[in-house]
Amino acid sequence: MCANALTETDPVDLSLLPASAKVVDGRISVGGCDLLEVAEEFGTPLFVYDAAELRNHFTEAVEHFGPGVAYATKAFLTPGLAKLASETGISFDVSTGGEYECVRRAGVDASRLVMHGNNKQPDELRRAVVEGVQWIVVDNFDELDRLETLAAELGQGVDLLVRINPGIEVHTHEFISTGNRDSKFGFPTWTDDAARAIERIRDHELLRFKGIHLHIGSFVLQIENFIEALDTVAPMVRQYSPEVLIVGGGLGVRYLNEDECPSFADWAQAILAWGRETLPGVTLLAEPGRSMVAQAGLTLYTLGSLQTKGDRTFAAVDGGMSDNPRPMLYDSGYEAFSVNDPQAARPVAAQVVGRHCESGDIVVPRAFLPESLKVGDVVCTPVTGAYGYTMASNYNMVARPAVVFVEDGTATLMTRRETYDDLFAREVGF
Protein backbone atom coordinates (compact mmCIF):
# COMPACT_ATOMS: atom_id res chain seq x y z
CA MET A 1 0.00 0.00 0.00
CA CYS A 2 1.16 3.55 -0.62
CA ALA A 3 0.58 5.98 2.22
CA ASN A 4 2.42 8.47 4.39
CA ALA A 5 2.08 10.33 7.65
CA LEU A 6 1.90 13.85 6.23
CA THR A 7 -0.96 16.10 7.25
CA GLU A 8 -2.99 18.12 4.79
CA THR A 9 -1.26 21.39 5.73
CA ASP A 10 2.26 20.04 5.31
CA PRO A 11 4.15 20.83 2.10
CA VAL A 12 2.91 18.76 -0.80
CA ASP A 13 4.39 15.27 -0.86
CA LEU A 14 6.71 15.17 -3.86
CA SER A 15 6.00 11.45 -4.26
CA LEU A 16 2.64 12.51 -5.74
CA LEU A 17 4.57 14.03 -8.63
CA PRO A 18 6.58 12.15 -11.25
CA ALA A 19 9.68 10.44 -9.88
CA SER A 20 11.89 13.05 -11.55
CA ALA A 21 10.43 15.89 -9.44
CA LYS A 22 13.09 17.78 -7.47
CA VAL A 23 13.27 20.95 -5.42
CA VAL A 24 16.64 22.70 -5.45
CA ASP A 25 17.13 26.17 -3.93
CA GLY A 26 13.38 26.73 -3.82
CA ARG A 27 12.84 25.87 -7.51
CA ILE A 28 10.87 22.79 -8.51
CA SER A 29 11.61 20.84 -11.67
CA VAL A 30 10.09 17.81 -13.39
CA GLY A 31 11.88 15.92 -16.13
CA GLY A 32 14.80 18.27 -15.58
CA CYS A 33 12.66 21.30 -16.50
CA ASP A 34 11.98 24.19 -14.12
CA LEU A 35 8.19 24.43 -13.83
CA LEU A 36 8.15 28.22 -13.51
CA GLU A 37 10.15 28.48 -16.72
CA VAL A 38 7.85 26.00 -18.45
CA ALA A 39 4.81 28.05 -17.40
CA GLU A 40 6.46 31.24 -18.63
CA GLU A 41 7.40 29.71 -21.98
CA PHE A 42 4.13 27.95 -22.82
CA GLY A 43 1.58 29.88 -20.76
CA THR A 44 -1.13 28.58 -18.47
CA PRO A 45 -3.30 26.61 -18.01
CA LEU A 46 -0.89 23.96 -19.12
CA PHE A 47 -0.77 20.17 -18.98
CA VAL A 48 2.77 18.94 -18.31
CA TYR A 49 3.70 15.26 -18.65
CA ASP A 50 6.94 13.53 -17.72
CA ALA A 51 7.65 11.49 -20.84
CA ALA A 52 10.02 9.09 -19.07
CA GLU A 53 7.39 8.36 -16.42
CA LEU A 54 4.80 7.62 -19.10
CA ARG A 55 7.20 5.31 -20.89
CA ASN A 56 8.08 3.49 -17.66
CA HIS A 57 4.42 2.89 -16.80
CA PHE A 58 3.57 1.48 -20.22
CA THR A 59 6.67 -0.70 -20.14
CA GLU A 60 5.71 -1.99 -16.69
CA ALA A 61 2.27 -3.03 -17.94
CA VAL A 62 3.80 -4.98 -20.83
CA GLU A 63 6.38 -6.59 -18.55
CA HIS A 64 3.69 -7.85 -16.19
CA PHE A 65 0.97 -8.93 -18.61
CA GLY A 66 2.84 -9.49 -21.86
CA PRO A 67 1.70 -8.87 -25.45
CA GLY A 68 -1.93 -7.91 -25.86
CA VAL A 69 -2.23 -5.78 -22.73
CA ALA A 70 -4.00 -2.60 -23.85
CA TYR A 71 -3.82 0.99 -22.66
CA ALA A 72 -7.29 2.50 -22.06
CA THR A 73 -6.88 5.61 -24.20
CA LYS A 74 -9.88 7.45 -22.76
CA ALA A 75 -7.65 8.36 -19.81
CA PHE A 76 -5.38 10.53 -21.98
CA LEU A 77 -4.75 10.44 -25.69
CA THR A 78 -2.93 12.54 -28.26
CA PRO A 79 -0.97 11.34 -31.31
CA GLY A 80 2.23 12.10 -29.43
CA LEU A 81 1.15 9.99 -26.48
CA ALA A 82 0.13 7.15 -28.79
CA LYS A 83 3.50 7.21 -30.53
CA LEU A 84 5.39 7.15 -27.24
CA ALA A 85 3.26 4.31 -25.86
CA SER A 86 3.47 2.27 -29.06
CA GLU A 87 7.24 2.09 -28.72
CA THR A 88 6.82 0.02 -25.54
CA GLY A 89 4.81 -2.69 -27.31
CA ILE A 90 1.51 -1.96 -25.58
CA SER A 91 -1.82 -2.28 -27.40
CA PHE A 92 -4.57 0.36 -27.33
CA ASP A 93 -8.16 0.19 -26.11
CA VAL A 94 -10.21 2.61 -28.25
CA SER A 95 -13.96 3.15 -27.94
CA THR A 96 -14.74 5.71 -30.64
CA GLY A 97 -13.77 6.45 -34.20
CA GLY A 98 -11.86 9.50 -32.99
CA GLU A 99 -9.71 7.49 -30.59
CA TYR A 100 -9.18 4.90 -33.33
CA GLU A 101 -8.11 7.58 -35.83
CA CYS A 102 -5.78 9.25 -33.33
CA VAL A 103 -3.86 6.05 -32.66
CA ARG A 104 -3.71 5.14 -36.34
CA ARG A 105 -2.38 8.60 -37.22
CA ALA A 106 0.44 7.93 -34.79
CA GLY A 107 1.48 5.02 -36.99
CA VAL A 108 0.13 2.19 -34.85
CA ASP A 109 -0.99 -0.89 -36.79
CA ALA A 110 -4.69 -1.78 -36.46
CA SER A 111 -3.71 -5.23 -35.16
CA ARG A 112 -2.79 -3.55 -31.86
CA LEU A 113 -6.18 -1.90 -31.39
CA VAL A 114 -8.97 -3.22 -29.17
CA MET A 115 -12.34 -1.84 -30.31
CA HIS A 116 -14.51 -1.08 -27.29
CA GLY A 117 -17.70 0.75 -26.38
CA ASN A 118 -21.36 -0.01 -25.75
CA ASN A 119 -22.76 1.61 -28.91
CA LYS A 120 -20.14 1.34 -31.64
CA GLN A 121 -21.26 3.05 -34.79
CA PRO A 122 -21.60 1.10 -38.06
CA ASP A 123 -18.67 2.90 -39.72
CA GLU A 124 -16.48 2.25 -36.67
CA LEU A 125 -17.27 -1.47 -36.71
CA ARG A 126 -16.69 -1.68 -40.45
CA ARG A 127 -13.27 -0.07 -40.21
CA ALA A 128 -12.29 -2.31 -37.32
CA VAL A 129 -13.27 -5.43 -39.26
CA VAL A 130 -11.68 -4.34 -42.54
CA GLU A 131 -8.39 -3.27 -40.96
CA GLY A 132 -8.15 -6.31 -38.70
CA VAL A 133 -8.03 -5.06 -35.12
CA GLN A 134 -6.65 -7.16 -32.27
CA TRP A 135 -10.24 -7.92 -31.31
CA ILE A 136 -13.63 -6.30 -30.92
CA VAL A 137 -15.30 -6.37 -27.50
CA VAL A 138 -18.99 -7.22 -28.08
CA ASP A 139 -21.29 -5.44 -25.64
CA ASN A 140 -24.85 -6.39 -26.66
CA PHE A 141 -26.97 -8.45 -29.05
CA ASP A 142 -27.69 -5.55 -31.43
CA GLU A 143 -23.97 -5.14 -31.94
CA LEU A 144 -23.62 -8.86 -32.47
CA ASP A 145 -26.29 -8.64 -35.19
CA ARG A 146 -24.28 -5.93 -36.94
CA LEU A 147 -21.06 -7.91 -36.72
CA GLU A 148 -22.68 -11.00 -38.20
CA THR A 149 -23.95 -8.92 -41.11
CA LEU A 150 -20.57 -7.25 -41.61
CA ALA A 151 -18.63 -10.49 -41.51
CA ALA A 152 -20.95 -12.06 -44.10
CA GLU A 153 -20.87 -8.99 -46.35
CA LEU A 154 -17.08 -8.75 -46.27
CA GLY A 155 -16.41 -12.47 -46.16
CA GLN A 156 -13.97 -11.80 -43.36
CA GLY A 157 -13.40 -13.47 -40.01
CA VAL A 158 -13.50 -11.37 -36.85
CA ASP A 159 -11.89 -12.01 -33.45
CA LEU A 160 -14.31 -11.19 -30.64
CA LEU A 161 -14.39 -10.87 -26.88
CA VAL A 162 -17.68 -10.99 -25.02
CA ARG A 163 -18.07 -8.31 -22.38
CA ILE A 164 -19.91 -9.68 -19.39
CA ASN A 165 -21.36 -7.84 -16.43
CA PRO A 166 -20.66 -9.76 -13.20
CA GLY A 167 -23.23 -7.73 -11.23
CA ILE A 168 -21.01 -6.79 -8.30
CA GLU A 169 -20.75 -3.56 -6.34
CA VAL A 170 -17.46 -1.76 -5.80
CA HIS A 171 -16.56 1.22 -3.63
CA THR A 172 -16.31 3.99 -6.19
CA HIS A 173 -18.49 6.81 -7.54
CA GLU A 174 -21.75 5.53 -9.05
CA PHE A 175 -20.97 7.24 -12.38
CA ILE A 176 -17.82 5.16 -12.85
CA SER A 177 -19.10 1.84 -11.52
CA THR A 178 -19.51 -0.38 -14.59
CA GLY A 179 -19.90 -3.95 -13.33
CA ASN A 180 -23.05 -3.69 -11.22
CA ARG A 181 -26.62 -4.58 -12.11
CA ASP A 182 -27.52 -0.96 -12.92
CA SER A 183 -24.74 -0.56 -15.50
CA LYS A 184 -25.40 -0.16 -19.21
CA PHE A 185 -22.33 -2.25 -20.07
CA GLY A 186 -22.04 -5.89 -21.00
CA PHE A 187 -24.08 -9.09 -21.07
CA PRO A 188 -25.44 -9.90 -17.59
CA THR A 189 -24.24 -13.07 -15.91
CA TRP A 190 -27.34 -13.31 -13.71
CA THR A 191 -29.40 -14.17 -16.82
CA ASP A 192 -28.52 -16.49 -19.70
CA ASP A 193 -27.57 -13.56 -21.99
CA ALA A 194 -23.81 -13.93 -21.60
CA ALA A 195 -23.93 -17.65 -22.32
CA ARG A 196 -26.21 -17.13 -25.33
CA ALA A 197 -23.85 -14.52 -26.77
CA ILE A 198 -20.83 -16.80 -26.43
CA GLU A 199 -22.63 -19.77 -27.98
CA ARG A 200 -23.93 -17.67 -30.84
CA ILE A 201 -20.42 -16.52 -31.69
CA ARG A 202 -19.00 -20.03 -31.42
CA ASP A 203 -21.65 -21.32 -33.80
CA HIS A 204 -20.92 -18.68 -36.46
CA GLU A 205 -18.57 -19.60 -39.30
CA LEU A 206 -16.84 -16.20 -39.47
CA LEU A 207 -16.98 -14.95 -35.89
CA ARG A 208 -14.20 -16.24 -33.66
CA PHE A 209 -14.73 -16.38 -29.90
CA LYS A 210 -11.41 -15.38 -28.34
CA GLY A 211 -12.20 -14.41 -24.81
CA ILE A 212 -14.26 -12.98 -22.00
CA HIS A 213 -14.01 -9.37 -20.88
CA LEU A 214 -15.12 -7.66 -17.69
CA HIS A 215 -14.64 -4.23 -16.22
CA ILE A 216 -16.02 -3.47 -12.78
CA GLY A 217 -15.42 0.27 -12.57
CA SER A 218 -12.94 3.10 -12.41
CA PHE A 219 -10.89 4.37 -9.48
CA VAL A 220 -11.17 1.08 -7.60
CA LEU A 221 -8.81 1.00 -4.61
CA GLN A 222 -9.27 -2.54 -3.31
CA ILE A 223 -7.56 -5.46 -5.04
CA GLU A 224 -10.18 -7.68 -3.38
CA ASN A 225 -12.86 -6.15 -5.60
CA PHE A 226 -11.05 -7.38 -8.70
CA ILE A 227 -10.52 -10.85 -7.24
CA GLU A 228 -14.21 -11.04 -6.31
CA ALA A 229 -15.17 -10.24 -9.90
CA LEU A 230 -12.74 -12.85 -11.22
CA ASP A 231 -14.14 -15.46 -8.82
CA THR A 232 -17.63 -14.64 -10.09
CA VAL A 233 -16.77 -15.27 -13.74
CA ALA A 234 -14.43 -18.24 -13.20
CA PRO A 235 -17.18 -20.88 -13.69
CA MET A 236 -18.13 -19.37 -17.06
CA VAL A 237 -14.48 -19.28 -18.11
CA ARG A 238 -14.08 -22.96 -17.26
CA GLN A 239 -17.25 -23.78 -19.18
CA TYR A 240 -16.28 -22.01 -22.40
CA SER A 241 -12.45 -22.26 -22.31
CA PRO A 242 -11.56 -18.89 -23.89
CA GLU A 243 -8.00 -18.10 -24.89
CA VAL A 244 -7.99 -14.89 -22.86
CA LEU A 245 -9.73 -13.36 -19.87
CA ILE A 246 -9.57 -9.57 -19.66
CA VAL A 247 -9.90 -8.07 -16.18
CA GLY A 248 -10.23 -4.56 -17.61
CA GLY A 249 -8.68 -1.65 -15.77
CA GLY A 250 -9.97 0.74 -13.16
CA LEU A 251 -7.15 0.65 -10.63
CA GLY A 252 -7.17 3.84 -8.57
CA VAL A 253 -4.23 6.10 -7.88
CA ARG A 254 -3.17 8.30 -5.01
CA TYR A 255 -4.38 11.90 -5.38
CA LEU A 256 -3.95 13.30 -1.86
CA ASN A 257 -1.16 13.30 0.72
CA GLU A 258 -3.18 10.98 2.96
CA ASP A 259 -4.46 8.59 0.29
CA GLU A 260 -3.73 4.87 0.27
CA CYS A 261 -3.82 2.66 -2.81
CA PRO A 262 -2.26 -0.50 -4.21
CA SER A 263 0.68 -0.13 -6.55
CA PHE A 264 0.29 -1.25 -10.14
CA ALA A 265 2.79 -4.05 -9.50
CA ASP A 266 0.84 -5.35 -6.50
CA TRP A 267 -2.39 -5.23 -8.51
CA ALA A 268 -0.93 -7.03 -11.52
CA GLN A 269 0.81 -9.68 -9.44
CA ALA A 270 -2.37 -10.44 -7.48
CA ILE A 271 -4.41 -10.86 -10.67
CA LEU A 272 -1.82 -13.03 -12.38
CA ALA A 273 -1.35 -15.17 -9.27
CA TRP A 274 -5.11 -15.72 -9.14
CA GLY A 275 -5.03 -16.77 -12.78
CA ARG A 276 -2.21 -19.26 -12.33
CA GLU A 277 -4.00 -20.88 -9.41
CA THR A 278 -7.60 -20.72 -10.58
CA LEU A 279 -7.51 -20.82 -14.39
CA PRO A 280 -4.23 -22.36 -15.55
CA GLY A 281 -3.90 -22.23 -19.30
CA VAL A 282 -5.98 -19.07 -19.72
CA THR A 283 -4.10 -15.87 -20.55
CA LEU A 284 -5.05 -12.98 -18.27
CA LEU A 285 -4.78 -9.49 -19.70
CA ALA A 286 -5.72 -6.02 -18.54
CA GLU A 287 -6.62 -2.57 -19.89
CA PRO A 288 -5.02 -0.06 -17.49
CA GLY A 289 -5.68 3.61 -18.09
CA ARG A 290 -5.56 5.97 -15.12
CA SER A 291 -2.66 4.11 -13.50
CA MET A 292 -0.58 4.61 -16.64
CA VAL A 293 -0.87 8.39 -16.95
CA ALA A 294 -2.36 10.09 -13.88
CA GLN A 295 0.79 10.62 -11.83
CA ALA A 296 2.89 11.37 -14.91
CA GLY A 297 0.88 14.56 -15.51
CA LEU A 298 0.27 17.82 -13.69
CA THR A 299 -1.53 21.06 -14.47
CA LEU A 300 -0.11 24.56 -14.07
CA TYR A 301 -2.39 27.57 -13.52
CA THR A 302 -1.84 31.25 -12.86
CA LEU A 303 -3.57 32.71 -9.81
CA GLY A 304 -5.85 35.59 -10.83
CA SER A 305 -7.51 36.52 -7.55
CA LEU A 306 -7.41 35.61 -3.89
CA GLN A 307 -10.52 36.55 -1.93
CA THR A 308 -11.59 35.92 1.63
CA LYS A 309 -15.32 36.12 2.28
CA GLY A 310 -16.07 35.54 5.91
CA ASP A 311 -14.61 32.16 6.74
CA ARG A 312 -14.16 31.16 3.08
CA THR A 313 -11.10 31.81 0.92
CA PHE A 314 -11.31 31.48 -2.85
CA ALA A 315 -8.22 31.16 -5.02
CA ALA A 316 -9.28 31.73 -8.63
CA VAL A 317 -7.09 30.37 -11.42
CA ASP A 318 -7.13 30.80 -15.20
CA GLY A 319 -8.57 27.34 -15.92
CA GLY A 320 -11.33 25.35 -14.31
CA MET A 321 -14.04 22.89 -15.19
CA SER A 322 -13.20 23.16 -18.89
CA ASP A 323 -9.79 21.54 -18.38
CA ASN A 324 -10.68 19.29 -15.44
CA PRO A 325 -14.36 18.44 -14.91
CA ARG A 326 -13.66 15.60 -12.45
CA PRO A 327 -14.30 17.65 -9.28
CA MET A 328 -17.66 18.75 -10.68
CA LEU A 329 -18.61 15.26 -11.91
CA TYR A 330 -17.24 13.04 -9.15
CA ASP A 331 -16.41 15.33 -6.20
CA SER A 332 -12.78 14.46 -6.87
CA GLY A 333 -10.06 15.87 -4.64
CA TYR A 334 -6.56 17.06 -5.51
CA GLU A 335 -3.62 18.66 -3.80
CA ALA A 336 -2.55 22.16 -4.79
CA PHE A 337 0.71 23.99 -4.12
CA SER A 338 2.55 27.11 -5.14
CA VAL A 339 5.23 26.53 -7.76
CA ASN A 340 6.78 29.81 -6.55
CA ASP A 341 7.14 28.37 -3.03
CA PRO A 342 6.98 24.59 -3.44
CA GLN A 343 8.27 23.53 -0.03
CA ALA A 344 6.16 25.91 2.01
CA ALA A 345 3.75 24.71 4.65
CA ARG A 346 0.13 25.19 3.57
CA PRO A 347 -1.91 26.50 6.50
CA VAL A 348 -4.44 28.48 4.43
CA ALA A 349 -7.63 26.51 3.82
CA ALA A 350 -9.13 27.54 0.51
CA GLN A 351 -11.15 26.46 -2.44
CA VAL A 352 -9.34 26.65 -5.76
CA VAL A 353 -11.94 27.76 -8.30
CA GLY A 354 -11.93 28.39 -12.01
CA ARG A 355 -12.95 31.23 -14.29
CA HIS A 356 -16.25 29.84 -15.58
CA CYS A 357 -19.73 31.21 -14.91
CA GLU A 358 -20.74 28.30 -12.67
CA SER A 359 -20.70 27.95 -8.90
CA GLY A 360 -19.70 24.33 -9.51
CA ASP A 361 -16.54 25.44 -11.32
CA ILE A 362 -14.18 24.06 -8.70
CA VAL A 363 -10.64 22.86 -9.36
CA VAL A 364 -9.76 21.75 -5.83
CA PRO A 365 -12.72 21.57 -3.43
CA ARG A 366 -10.61 21.50 -0.26
CA ALA A 367 -7.17 22.94 -0.84
CA PHE A 368 -4.43 24.07 1.53
CA LEU A 369 -2.14 26.81 0.32
CA PRO A 370 0.91 28.70 1.64
CA GLU A 371 0.62 32.12 3.25
CA SER A 372 3.13 33.39 0.69
CA LEU A 373 0.74 32.80 -2.24
CA LYS A 374 -0.11 35.95 -4.19
CA VAL A 375 -1.81 36.95 -7.42
CA GLY A 376 0.34 36.10 -10.42
CA ASP A 377 1.92 33.03 -8.79
CA VAL A 378 1.76 29.66 -10.51
CA VAL A 379 -0.39 27.02 -8.83
CA CYS A 380 0.13 23.34 -9.56
CA THR A 381 -2.37 20.50 -9.21
CA PRO A 382 -0.48 17.20 -9.44
CA VAL A 383 -1.85 13.81 -10.53
CA THR A 384 -3.96 15.36 -13.29
CA GLY A 385 -2.62 13.23 -16.12
CA ALA A 386 -5.82 11.20 -16.44
CA TYR A 387 -9.29 12.42 -17.42
CA GLY A 388 -8.37 16.09 -17.57
CA TYR A 389 -7.21 16.83 -21.09
CA THR A 390 -9.41 14.12 -22.63
CA MET A 391 -12.53 15.47 -20.89
CA ALA A 392 -11.71 19.11 -21.60
CA SER A 393 -14.36 21.30 -23.21
CA ASN A 394 -14.80 24.78 -24.64
CA TYR A 395 -17.41 25.87 -22.12
CA ASN A 396 -17.71 29.67 -22.09
CA MET A 397 -15.74 29.45 -25.35
CA VAL A 398 -12.51 29.02 -23.44
CA ALA A 399 -9.69 27.60 -25.55
CA ARG A 400 -8.31 24.26 -24.42
CA PRO A 401 -4.79 24.20 -22.90
CA ALA A 402 -1.57 23.10 -24.50
CA VAL A 403 0.20 19.82 -23.69
CA VAL A 404 3.93 19.72 -23.04
CA PHE A 405 6.16 16.68 -22.52
CA VAL A 406 9.30 17.14 -20.41
CA GLU A 407 12.33 14.87 -20.41
CA ASP A 408 16.07 15.24 -19.86
CA GLY A 409 15.81 18.99 -19.36
CA THR A 410 13.85 19.61 -22.57
CA ALA A 411 10.23 20.76 -22.72
CA THR A 412 8.52 19.82 -26.00
CA LEU A 413 5.20 21.24 -27.13
CA MET A 414 3.08 18.24 -28.16
CA THR A 415 -0.33 19.87 -28.56
CA ARG A 416 -0.53 23.62 -29.04
CA ARG A 417 -3.01 25.79 -27.18
CA GLU A 418 -6.27 26.39 -29.02
CA THR A 419 -6.81 29.80 -30.59
CA TYR A 420 -9.96 31.79 -31.31
CA ASP A 421 -9.56 30.75 -34.94
CA ASP A 422 -9.73 27.12 -33.81
CA LEU A 423 -12.93 27.80 -31.90
CA PHE A 424 -14.68 29.10 -35.01
CA ALA A 425 -13.02 26.95 -37.68
CA ARG A 426 -16.13 24.78 -38.11
CA GLU A 427 -18.66 27.61 -38.37
CA VAL A 428 -20.16 27.95 -41.85
CA GLY A 429 -23.51 29.65 -41.24
CA PHE A 430 -22.50 33.28 -41.04
Which positions are annotated as active-site residues?
A: 357
Torsion-angle region of 235 (φ positive above 0: left; ψ -120 to 50: alpha; else: beta): alpha
Nearest CA-CA partner of 84 in 58, 47, 61: 58
DSSP 318: S
Q: What type of residue is 169?
A: E
CA 190 – CA 201 distance, rounded (Å): 20
Please enumerate in sequence order all residues whose Cβ is within 8 A of that of 282, keeping only pairs 6 or more positions apart, or say none. 237, 241, 242, 243, 244, 245, 275
Let me know if 307 is exposed, middle or buried by CB neighbors in 10 A (0-12, 13-18, 19+). Answer: exposed
User: Per the annotation, does 200 bind a ligand?
Assistant: no
Q: What is the per-residue burial (b if ≥16 Cβ within 10 Å, else e) of 17-44?
A: bbebbeeeeeebbbbebbbbebbeebeb
User: Per the annotation, does 330 bind a ligand?
Assistant: yes
User: Per the annotation, does 289 bind a ligand?
Assistant: yes
User: Per the annotation, does 288 bind a ligand?
Assistant: yes
User: Per the annotation, does 387 bind a ligand?
Assistant: yes
| DSSP H helical ranges for 87-137 | 97-105, 122-131
User: Per the annotation, does 418 bind a ligand?
Assistant: no
Annotation: binding site for pyridoxal 5'-phosphate:
250, 287-290, 387
Instruction: Mark the binding-site residues for substrate, compressed into ranges.
Output: 290, 326, 330, 358, 387
Please give the annotated binding residues, written as ranges.
Answer: 250, 287-290, 326, 330, 358, 387
